[in-house]
Structure 1
């Protein structure tokens, strides 16, 4: 019986080894298995000799030695993540086929309770990483169709302004446009600033988010106090140029405008 068990252990061990081995290798293998079995016996004997109560206590001590660093590490990470409750959100107006015709980048500062809003033109010529890891250039409007929907749009806008984007909110484009009193022509021609300034409020945004797909946490959502937050629109129109590439209309944001907007957002989120 003992030999059968030993044989099973031998072949189990050999499953992970080369099939072609020498007589020396075979002896080495058997020696390793014997040592493994002896160590198990020694460990079992130790627990039998010290008694079940002491053994249980020893297990608890060993477990705490492993778990305590993990617990304290997690606590430190949690505290670090709550040192600054400022965050950024990309509000997207979704069209069929994963297109986003309206993209509003929002940066909320928890200290002074202000929110900066950047309307990003739908026809902005941007680098987009597709599902194969390749980078192509196209309109921001089409970014979601190249990869993972909202996450691809988020990554594209994040790269454009060189800031991290924490959350996204996707809303049917028609409903978002209607709530901001925007026409299709306003969106196509990037005539958004005036209407957004007049119609976007924190209370309206909270109402929209409640009815939409988002990865915002409840805690971050509750930070948006409708009565105390002021909203400022960042107008980039002076730094936007229209261009035609192979007969297709695009807009391109000048590097100076991108850098200036990026700095403003970064300082606002710090």
Structure 2
């Protein structure tokens, strides 16, 4: 299923791209220590866990600031019943795919969240999988033409939004039709305009942050800003105290508040801050209905590993066996 349109070449790399901050280094060796303590732990079986959340369909696109795919439903004021998104131009296709990515300009354009979505027009069903940023993947090509592998975290550096799409497409051997790359600052602007959101946690937890090492969250109701929201979504992606149900519930919490607090002109302005391969006009041409959504988890196939850079530096990664990724691709593109 390789997409020949996505064979971009990137012929620049250096050892500088493999260096990371003190916080990253501390995290790496903490992970390595955990690996040494648990290296007798059996590998997880290749069975993906998934759940259906039909009532929460809209919320998945709130990560795209209620704009990228879901702008049609917002502009039309269709907030009841079945939700709608834009229809792809190639109506003959059995399904189409979309990648929504969150990056941070302040952190050298590292990407922290990737949502890969597939949609079946016939079944009116959508599926979604969230990728850990520590995923080890081909992020470009070296000067000699050989593949360059690193964390998905760095994929934007080697060719921008198009290269992020290429990296994820190659990882799953799955063509990706549309993409949107959203900066953390844009998400923070949206959250600030709504005065944040509230989310209930079942226990105290510590979650990795972006502009700082981590956030400490308390059991009960937490008032979240933009980075704290993304931090919890990252934790849910990796299954750290949270899971895919929390991922969707977080998005739903944004939707409920954005529905009544974000005016259309502001949404239009926010759209101009998103890197996407589709125009706002194209989004508004056609609409389709979504009856249900299915969330697919990757953590049953996540193999915690590390790469040694030198005697004092290393980095933590997640590897996936190809058989597992093939299973995920098949599940993403099979609609029964």
Which stretch shows the higher mean deviation, 154-163 or 173-182?
A: 173-182
- How far apart, CA to CA, are the structure 1 residues paired with 2:118 and 2:228? 22
**Which of the pair is proportionally richer in strand?**
2
**Which of the pair is proportionally richer in helix?**
1
Post-superposition offset of 1:214: 1.3
- How far apart, CA to CA, are the structure 1 residues paired with 2:283 and 2:120? 12
**CA distance 1:108–1:245, change in 2 (3 Å):** same
Post-superposition offset of 1:253: 1.7
Matched residue pairs, number?
187
- 2:330 is the alignment partner of 1:263: yes
**Structure 2 counterpart SS, 1:81:** coil
Return the TM-score normalized by structure 1: 0.58
The equivalent position to 1:122 in structure 2, one of 119, 133, 136, is 133
> Structure 2 matches for 1:18-97, cutoff 5 A?
81-84=90-93, 86-96=95-105, 97=108
Return the TM-score normalized by structure 2: 0.48
> Structure 2 matches for 1:1-270, cutoff 5 A?
81-84=90-93, 86-96=95-105, 97-130=108-141, 132=143, 133-145=145-157, 147-173=158-184, 175=187, 182-184=229-231, 187=234, 190-191=238-239, 193-200=244-251, 204=255, 211=271, 212-216=274-278, 218-219=281-282, 225=288, 228-246=290-308, 247-268=314-335
- How far apart, CA to CA, are the structure 1 residues paired with 2:168 and 2:231? 22
**Structure 2 counterpart SS, 1:200:** helix
- How far apart, CA to CA, are the structure 2 residues paired with 1:112 and 1:181? 35
RMSD: 3.5
Which stretch shows the higher mean deviation, 151-160 or 189-198?
A: 189-198
- How far apart, CA to CA, are the structure 2 residues paired with 1:88 and 1:180? 26
- How far apart, CA to CA, are the structure 1 residues paired with 2:245 and 2:227? 10
Post-superposition offset of 1:144: 1.2
Superposed CA deviations along residues 201-256 of structure 1, whole A, max 9, x for unmatched, are 6x95999896223113545566555x744221101111111111102111112333
Equivalent residue for 1:7? Answer: none
Structure 1 alignment gaps of length 5 or more:
1-79
**Conservation of the 8 A alpha-carbon contact between 1:92 and 1:100:** yes
- How far apart, CA to CA, are the structure 2 residues paired with 1:223 and 1:257? 35
Superposed CA deviations along residues 64-85 of structure 1, whole A, max 9, x for unmatched, are xxxxxxxxxxxxxxxx933227
- The structure with the largest alpha-carbon Rg is 1
